[in-house]
């Protein structure tokens, strides 16, 4: 793996956004060869999205030939609910850039047949030629997407019930009322993300430090599903100083040295 450590959240967001921008620009996508991008939600990637929007508005980055696949969506939440991931993506990203609506893919948590919806999503990824770069985050319980502790490390897109940790972490988006947080989601599987040609995980903040430690300094374990990426050929972990607080000094020094 590559572990990229920046001083603070803003610098980490900027580094990640620049990386995405450079990958898309160097790929030179066209109508016959789209750049496929996997995308996360949550508070961690907000800074990264803001920078990407800035690069777009500067004229440095176009999303005309980019296809996006989001990681997850709540089940049963109305699509226009302010906390749905459709709303998140529209307000924080899509409405500010030039991406075409038919090139965006987000799981439909209100589909009448949820399993068919998940299977169709996998097919859409395959039809698009697979994911070039999957951007993700990590939960405080070490999950990638909504692959909660105990998820199979070779899982595919499916329905998942949320763990208590995740529900508590999400309560702040629902007025701190636990009863209002959805309990089920549709999520890409660990295996789905592992299929991507490159994976970039954003991890910022001291509250994620323990999860990062478990993900990269301990073994591959289905209780900390991000650890699966130890077995991926091209993974980058982008973090700020606070997220490294639980790592060994040796690990941090090694990777920091590689930054210069």
Active-site residue list: 72, 141, 143, 148
- Euclidean distance between CA atoms 204 and 195, whole angstroms: 24
- Which span (44-52, 83-91, 140-148, 177-185) binds another protein, by CB under 8 A? 83-91
Least spacing, CB of residue 75 vs another protein, in Å? 17
Count residues near another protein (CB under 8 A).
12
Residues 1, 25, 90, 184: which binds another protein (CB under 8 A)?
90
Q: Which is nearer to another protein, 120 or 168 (CB)?
A: 120
Q: Which is nearer to another protein, 97 or 252 (CB)?
A: 97
- Which span (11-19, 93-101, 160-168, 233-241) binds another protein, by CB under 8 A? 93-101
CA nearest to 167, candidates 148, 152, 186:
148
Please, what sign has the CA dihedral across residues 140, 144, 146, 149? Answer: negative
Least spacing, CB of residue 165 vs another protein, in Å? 30
Q: Which is nearer to another protein, 78 or 150 (CB)?
A: 78
CB neighbour list of residue 12: distance below 8 Å, 6 or more residues apart: 4, 6, 47, 202, 204, 238, 239, 240
Least spacing, CB of residue 103 vs another protein, in Å? 9
Would you give the binding string for another protein spanning residues 98-137, x where CB under 8 A is met? Answer: --xxx---x-------------------------------
SS (H, E, C) 201-256: EEECCHHHHHHHHHHHCCCCECCEHHHHHHHCCCEEEEEEHHHHCCCCHHHHHHHH
DSSP secondary structure string for all residues of 128-182? TTS-SEEEE---TT--BTTB-TT--TT--SEEEEPPHHHHHHHGGGGTT-GGGS-
173 lies in the binding site for another protein (CB under 8 A): no
Q: Which residues of this protein are in contact with another protein, per CB under 8 A?
A: 79-80, 86-87, 90-91, 94-95, 100-102, 106
């Amino acid at each position: 793996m590559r572990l990229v450590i920046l001083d603070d959240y803003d610098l980490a967001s900027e580094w990640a956004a620049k990386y995405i921008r450079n990958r898309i620009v160097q790929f030179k996508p066209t109508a016959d060869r789209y750049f496929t991008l996997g995308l996360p939600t949550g508070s961690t990637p907000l800074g990264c999205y803001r920078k990407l929007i800035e690069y777009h508005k500067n004229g440095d980055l176009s999303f005309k030939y980019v296809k996006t696949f989001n990681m997850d969506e709540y089940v049963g939440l109305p699509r226009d609910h302010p906390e749905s991931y459709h709303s998140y993506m529209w307000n924080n990203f899509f409405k500010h850039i030039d991406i075409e609506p038919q090139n965006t893919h987000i799981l439909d948590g209100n589909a009448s047949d949820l399993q068919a919806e998940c299977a169709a999503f996998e097919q859409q990824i395959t039809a698009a030629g697979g994911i070039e770069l999957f951007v993700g985050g990590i939960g405080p319980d070490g999950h990638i997407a909504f692959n909660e502790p105990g998820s199979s490390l070779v899982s595919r897109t499916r329905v998942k019930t949320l763990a208590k940790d995740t529900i508590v972490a999400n309560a702040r988006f629902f007025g701190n009322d636990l009863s209002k947080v959805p309990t089920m989601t549709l999520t890409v599987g660990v295996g789905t993300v592992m299929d991507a040609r490159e994976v970039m995980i954003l991890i910022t903040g001291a509250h994620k430090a323990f999860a990062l430690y478990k993900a990269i300094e301990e073994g591959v374990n289905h209780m900390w599903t991000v650890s699966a990426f130890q077995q991926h050929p091209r993974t980058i972990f982008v973090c700020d100083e606070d997220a490294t607080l639980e790592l060994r000094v040796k690990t941090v020094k090694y990777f920091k040295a590689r930054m210069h």
